[in-house]
Each structure stands twice: as C-alpha cells, then as structure tokens.
Amino acid sequence: MSGPASSSPPAVSVHGLERAFKGGIKAVDGLDLEVREGEVYGFLGPNGAGKTTTVRILVTLLKPTAGEARVAGFDVVSQADAVRRNIGVALQEAAIDPLMTGRELLRMQGALHGMKGAQARSRAEELLDRVGLTDAGGRRVGQYSGGMRRRLDLAMALVHRPKVLFLDEPTTGLDPTSRSALWREVRSLNDDGTTVFLTTQYLEEAEQLADRVGIIAGGSLVAEGTPAELKAHVGEPTLHVDLAPESDVAAARVALSAVGPLVDCQDDARVAIRAARGKATVPLAIRALDEAGIAVESVEVESPTLDDVFAAVTGSTLEGATQGASADQAEVPA
Ligand SMILES: Nc1ncnc2c1ncn2[C@@H]1O[C@H](COP(=O)(O)OP(=O)(O)O)[C@@H](O)[C@H]1O
Ligand SMILES: [Mg+2]
C-alpha cells in the first residue's frame, strides 16, 4: 500500500515468462508483470488461465521453459534457496496429515524452518491466535471445516515471517462468512507489511483485496491496473432515469441530452445518459427534468464492474463471477 523505500527491489518481477508442458500446451505464455513491495496483487483469471503454473514457478516448485522471474530480488531458478527463505506459500491442493492437530502442524512447520522447540511452540500459539484457531488448535485437522483449513494453511505459510506471501485461490469453495474472515486476515497481514500475491477467479475478491489486478487469460496478461483504472478503461458510468407512468419520454430525452450523451435503452419508460461525473450527474439530471416538467420515479448511476472489464478484454465472463452492478440508487420523491 504505502510507498516502499526506493532502494528495495520489486517483490515480484516477471519478464517473458513461459512454461510449456508436454504436448505443446503453453500454460504460461509470455508473461510480464511486476508487484511492488507492500502491495496486494490480484492475479485474476478463469480456470486453466495459467494462475497456478505461474505461482508454482514463482515459489520455485516448477522451472520456467523461457523467460525469467525474481522474487524479493532473487532469481527463482539460480537463487531458489534465497527465494524460499523470503516467501510463504498456501497452495490450492496442499496435502497435510489429517490426523495431526493444527498446533502440531504449526510446531512442525516451525521446526522445518529451523526454530528451536520453545520458539516453535510460542510461534505456533501466536499464529493460532492470529487466525482464530486457538480453541481448535488441539483438534485433528481432518475435522476442520474448509474455512478452518484455509486459515491453518495461511498460518503455516506465515511461520517464518515471509516478506512475500503467495495464496493460490485462498477462498475457492468457502462460504461467504469464511471468505470474509480470510479477507480480513489478508488485509491485516498486508497492513503489517507483507506483500501478497493472490490468485483468484472471483472478481469480488480482486476488487475487495487487491491494490492492483492483473487479468490473465491463455497464459498472459490481458489487462492490468487498479480496480478503478480497469473499470474506467471500460467506460463511463451510466445514469438511468425511470420516468413516472405516462411521462413524455421524447421530452425527457431532449432534456437529458443536454446533461450527457444519450445511451440506448431497452425499456420504454427509461432514459439513460453517459454520466462522466458519476453521482454528481444526478442533481443535474433531476433539475433538467424538473425544468421540463417531467415526473421522475427513480434515478440510478451504474458503474462498470470488473466483470465488464473481464468481458471487454477476454470476450467472455468469469465462471466464478458474482453478478452485482455497483449501483448507487437514489429514490426521487415524486
Ligand atoms: N503438469 C501439467 N501438464 C500438462 N498440462 C498442464 C499441467 N499443469 C497445468 N497444465 C495446463 O496448463 C493450463 C494452465 O493450468 P493452471 O496453471 O493450473 O491454470 P489455473 O490455475 O489458472 O486454473 C491448463 O490448460 C492446464 O491443463
Ligand atoms: Mg489453479
């Protein structure tokens, strides 16, 4: 979030990255991106886009077939050990022993990172507390709910206080409550200075969490920017006016066209214009209609969503997309 010291390298930098698999599939195909220190970067794309393959390369589990990638300033191929010391990883299909308790797993993770017994024990307690699993710490993880498992995965990725955290679809399959709990956790980690690289197929998740979003399709980036920039790129907000029954629609169109360019509308009792100034257009529209003696039922301003962005750059919609135009509705008293 806040500006990094200018001397620090990007948390992640990727140039011309490729990964071909046998059979010729290029899961990653000429990827370029850069994540600044302290950012939450949302890597958004549908199933099969190349998200997991990219993450596996960045966390040194898979070698690229071309191009290069650096994490925390280190090359993922020639300096893999240094990369590993600086990162935490929660992968989609993490295999953990269901018979062990959350507390045992966290202590073991600490030991794997070279902590002494007492240190590993106190770190385990700290992390159980951090992700809200203190009470469940003594239970076998085989009995954990999906949300609890994801929170434990997160805690395990944090044991050695990584600078850069990789989360591969951290909330896929979770219910809304568990999802928001995990979002809170990611925000708080980021507030504490951790850079987060997060893959998702949920537009809402990218919108809620990410400072910047890269949209990946077919192994390369098709758009990148802050959620606001991406949406502004697709188009301006639209202002819709619902007219009172039996209003003079033609007169309403004339009056509103003085406020902004008319937009086609399916509905006969509706008139729409482009609203470059967003909500600030509402009073102007109401005054124009009022002066023309036209009764209005309601006015709303609809902004483009990340879904519109996705459709515009890929020509399709996201499977995991939640509908939900961000509409600012204003009821107008008759
Ligand atoms: N080990 C592999 N061997 C062959 N093809 C693979 C392998 N891993 C992934 N792929 C293919 O690469 C593409 C990208 O996969 P992946 O990176 O898992 O996408 P995502 O995580 O965005 O769903 C898919 O077409 C997938 O089938
Ligand atoms: Mg994946």
| Ligand sitting nearest the alpha carbon of 51 | 1
**Are β-strands 66-71 and 74-75 bridged in parallel, bridged antiparallel, or unpaired?**
antiparallel
Q: What strands lie across the sheet with 262-263, from one edge to the other?
A: 262-263, 270-274, 238-243, 296-302, 327-331
> Which of 169, 233, 228 lies closest to 202 in space, CA to CA?
169
Q: What are phi and psi of 12, to 5 degrees?
A: -140, 130
Whole-number Å distance, alpha carbon 27 to ligand 2 midpoint, is: 11
Query: CA-to-CA distance for 220 and 19, rounded, in angstroms?
Result: 11
From the CB of 27, is ligand 1 less than 6 Å away? yes
Per-residue pLDDT of the chain (334 residues), as tens digits, is 455 455 789 999 999 999 999 988 999 999 999 999 999 999 999 889 999 999 999 999 999 999 999 999 999 999 999 999 999 999 877 678 899 999 999 999 999 999 999 999 999 999 999 999 999 999 999 999 989 999 999 999 999 999 999 999 999 888 888 899 899 999 999 999 999 999 998 888 998 999 999 999 999 999 999 988 888 777 788 999 999 988 899 999 999 999 999 988 777 789 999 998 888 999 999 999 999 999 999 999 988 877 778 888 877 766 544 433 333 344 444 3
From the CB of 45, is ligand 1 less than 6 Å away? yes
CA-nearest residue, atom 13 of ligand 1:
27
Model-wide pTM > 0.95: no
Whole-number Å distance, alpha carbon 43 to ligand 1 midpoint, is: 15
Number of the ligand 1 atom closest to the C-alpha atom of 169 = 21
From the CB of 47, is ligand 1 less than 6 Å away? yes
